[in-house]
């Protein structure tokens, strides 16, 4: 067997498989980030609904309770200080509905998730082609909702 003709074949095979391996690694990590954000969004919506269900005097009809619950869902505290639990989440994406006839509160959050790597590559492409790289592409919309009965 002539080993001289086989020199460098492992390097060529590695070069052929490297893009597939990198694609697999980045895809798994990006979806891991998506699942983490969905879990954090779901937990924060549950906490906000639990806060509203135990609000003073039965029903959380005051705007103070609604604002505090939105701050709790976005920032993790009622004051609204600090960074968002899920990056890019704002209180405008939190919808709270009170149903006093059936005695429950519903908190719904909508979050436009995007891939970190794809947006970075897109921004780099725009930076080199036009001179500005500020666009983001939404990949999927993550929805979380929670319904809780009012405390009696």
Instruction: Say if residue 132's pLDDT is above 60.
Output: no
The confidence score (pLDDT) of residue 138 equals: 63
- Does residue 2 form part of some domain? no
- Does residue 130 form part of some domain? yes
pLDDT tens track for 41-88:
999 999 988 888 876 555 555 778 888 889 989 998 888 888 888 888
| Mean pLDDT, rounded, for 16-31 | 91
- Does residue 40 form part of some domain? yes
Question: Exposed e or buried b for every residue in 65-79, given b needs 16+ CB within 10 A?
Answer: bbebbbbbbbbbebe
What 70-78 contacts at long range (C-beta under 8 Å, 24+ apart), as own/partner pairs, is 70/94, 70/96, 72/44, 72/47, 72/48, 73/44, 73/45, 73/47, 73/48, 73/107, 73/109, 74/44, 76/44, 76/47, 78/51
8-state DSSP, 56: T
| Mean pLDDT, rounded, for 143-147 | 90
- Does residue 142 form part of some domain? yes
The confidence score (pLDDT) of residue 7 equals: 78
More confident residue, 128 or 86: 86
- Does residue 121 form part of some domain? yes
- Does residue 3 form part of some domain? no
Instruction: Say if residue 28's pLDDT is above 70.
Output: yes
pLDDT tens track for 88-123:
888 888 888 877 677 788 899 998 888 777 777 777
- The Cα–Cα gap between 43 and 146 comes to 9
Q: What is the dihedral angle through the alpha carbons of 19, 20, 26, 32, rounded to the nearest 10 degrees?
A: 180
| Mean pLDDT, rounded, for 18-43 | 91
- Does residue 119 form part of some domain? yes
Domain count for the chain: 1
Instruction: Say if residue 134's pLDDT is above 70.
Output: no
- Does residue 99 form part of some domain? yes
Domain residues for 15? Answer: 8-149
In the chain, the percentage of residues whose pLDDT exceeds 70 is 84
The confidence score (pLDDT) of residue 15 equals: 93
């Amino acid at each position: 067997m002539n080993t001289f003709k086989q020199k460098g074949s492992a390097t060529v095979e590695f070069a052929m498989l490297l893009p597939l391996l990198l694609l697999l690694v980045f895809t798994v990590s990006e979806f891991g980030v998506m699942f983490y954000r969905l879990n954090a969004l779901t937990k924060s919506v549950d906490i906000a609904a639990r806060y509203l269900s135990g609000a003073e005097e039965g029903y959380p009809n005051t705007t103070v309770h609604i604002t505090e619950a939105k701050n709790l869902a976005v920032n993790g505290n009622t004051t609204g200080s600090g960074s968002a639990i899920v990056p890019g989440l704002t209180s405008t994406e939190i919808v709270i509905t009170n149903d006093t006839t059936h005695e429950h509160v519903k908190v719904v959050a909508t979050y436009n998730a995007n891939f970190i790597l794809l947006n970075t590559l897109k921004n780099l492409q725009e930076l080199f082609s036009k001179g500005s790289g500020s666009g983001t592409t939404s990949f999927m919309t993550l929805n979380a909702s929670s319904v809780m009965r009012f405390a009696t």
